Structure 1
Amino acid sequence: MSSLKRATVMVVDDDTDVLTAVRLLLRPEVKEIITEKNPELLLSVLEKTQVDLLFLDMNYKSAVNTGNEGIYWLQKIKKLYPDLPIVMITAYADIDLAVKSLKLGATDFMVKPWQNDRLLESIKSIYKNSSLLRNADEQRAADNKLIGNSAVMQDVFYKLEKIAPTDANILILGENGTGKDLIAEAIHRKSLRGKQPYIKVDVGALTESLFESELFGHKKGAFTDAREDRTGRFEEANNGTLFLDEIGNISLAQQSRLLTVLQSRYIIPLGSNQKTDLNIRLICATNVPLNVLGDERKFRKDLIYRINTVEINVPPLRERFGDIPLLAEHFAKIYGEKYGKLNIGFSKEAMLKMELYHFPGNVRELQYAVERAVIMNETNEIEAREIIFSPIENMYDNVENKVETNLVLVERNAILKAIERRDGNISKAAKDLGITRAALYRKLNKHEI
């Protein structure tokens, strides 16, 4: 249940006695109580402060108590802050107006004079429900980052759902730009530790001197420049999840220290002799292939077994071509909203250009290409010439992978061009390619076209 101790409540009423009473009642119950006599100041407060619940009187200094002032401010605030719960404050004679306010978006109404117990229960109920909705929206937004209808991504999602509720240590493998960090976040959210801390550390970027201090903490005076106590990332993640990114890049000495902590399940900060017990779920990620990681000259096998109860392989974008349109449209929507270009889309040629490209930078490169195209576009349709790929990406590390992937790309591109040339007629495209219609359908399935 959501605690009112995290809630900020605002009450707007021209009656000073009402404001004083509600302030005294709510001050011990909520994080902050804001009271205001003048509704004209409402918007300036909402612009500066995250208000979780607003109580709004129906009548102010008007000579006639019509309630129209309250209705006016309700509509104005709902237009600007549609998700803000608003409770209307009314007198007995204003019940009809209160009902009208509900139809216009108010969450509830309170009749003056109210009972304190009922007021508190109403606040708790409204805040709990709005928090649940807010959390659900955040969950949907986070889940929407993981996009893919391809078979390989469906396998990833299936494994994620299976392992997330467990406490198993996870090793996420994949090239740079494939979204390993998104997979780690999703595992944490869906785990039993989802409401506990989630701490991410790029261990590959830590120097030998910073490694222990960053991960395990230190006491004041433990070394030069240690001017105050510092809590390490392991302790910050206690009872939650610790995500160690680029773990394949740490030295053998760092691996040995990490292994000791994982085996003992406690840490001792630098400059201290006090143990801190650990209760964490560990997720690691690396762009180093597992067969390379298994070379004991570079990485300890006993540490691999510690961090790799279950592994997840995140496929590169060139192995999930069918997801390119989905991802491109997703990023176009995000950046269209960001740069004030709503309903922006892609021409047929622009989408084909992206589908024919091998994306050495994976999803990250696609994301940046779409963002640049949205910025430069002057219409609602992105053209092929506006899709510019990164010149800094180097995809292939060995000749064998280069030849294999290029052959796959050649076949896929030939199929796409044949279908485009025949305006989507499969029979004519198959004839041009010198294969049967059934064979072409099998290849369409193979290449996720």
Structure 2
Amino acid sequence: MTSSLLFTGSTVGSVVGTILLERIVNFLGRFYPFLDQHTYLPVVPFFDRLFTKNVPAALPCGVGYSPAKARFSSLVLGCLLHPLFFIVMGTARNYPALLMAYVIAAFARSFWTGERLNFYVVSTPKKPLGVLLGCWCIGSFSAPLVCQTLMAEGISWKHFYLGSLVISAIALSLTIFSFRPTRDEFLADRKVALDTMQISPSAHIPGTETMIQPSNAEKVRESSARTLLLALSMPYQWAFSLFAFIYGGSETTFQGFIVTYLLTNRGSSPNTVGYVSSGFWGGMAAGRILWGYYCTGSVAVYRHGLVSFLMCVSFLMTILIWLVDSTIENALSSVVVGLMYGPIFPGTLGLCNDILPRDVHMVSMAILTAVASAGSAVLPFITGIISNKDGMRVFCYVTVSQTVSMFVLWLFFPSSPPARVSSPA
């Protein structure tokens, strides 16, 4: 149960991040459309009037929003916050500090897994969401592999977290290089902002008395609220959310407790059992990358059937882990479970986008991501409480029941998008 509380810390950080994400991203994306230059810092009109000469008194009406700048700033902010997790884990002297580290890590991850990055990847020509999630799993595969190797050599696990700060620095550098707003993106966002304000770029010259028309910020916020309510009013949104909740909990329960299960119920060696977790994530990475390359553009019926097959194989592997008393077999089954689990979440996002109207895609992906994060904390926590009383034998009961629940729920989803009736002109 003590280990499960760490998942609860992740839930708290994820929930706080999800609630504050939209407000923080909107703030980070603020810029001055009337200026023929862009900055990486968000605008704060009060301070800018004090320190910037070419900011007019009518500035509050002249603040626009840049999606490119917001995406870049939010990703960089996540890269700056996440190293705090490694620092706290590497220097912690008590359990509450470890719990706080998990809260910080989940809060930082919310800026990476938010709907804007997923929606941005889906909107690109090749739609490599499966590849993106697969690369995430490559890190999950490498981390326990390296940590287990260091511990087997007698190196303290705390040094692993402190050494990971080097990876954080590399990630920050790559993020800045990849997502920094270009001049063309600034000009495109500037044009949209000026069009929203109903003026042209030459209609306002800093230092003149030309007034900028009020922006439609209130209308944009009202439109976002209506889109959220529209998504929440759709039964399929709730059904997909329930599926994502179970999937997130099942994935985290399996990878979080398989090592403990092998140690307590199979008598595995502490020096090698950690590699099983790496095998699971290695299979997960391979499954998602293959899905991203070969199945993203497939027809919905094919993708629906393939995900059904993957869940059936996962069910068989969990049964084998339950019945076969062999560390080697259980480790191999764990790899296959990871391979089968990999495509399920990107496949769910794809099917959800096929079924729901395009207007709610971005909001829907945000909801599914948040609910999956909640499931990845709540269900493992419940599993930890039960196993604290009845032992780790409940691990197999939980994983089998979760896989069956996902399969039954998946059968109720349509295998092809519903026909949409065009609205009259």
Q: Structure 2 length normalisation: TM-score?
A: 0.22
Q: Structure 1 length normalisation: TM-score?
A: 0.21
Structure having the higher strand fraction is 1
Rg bigger for which structure?
A: 1
Structure having the higher helix fraction is 2
Q: Which structure would you say has the larger RCO, counting Cα contacts within 8 Å and 6 or more residues apart?
A: 2
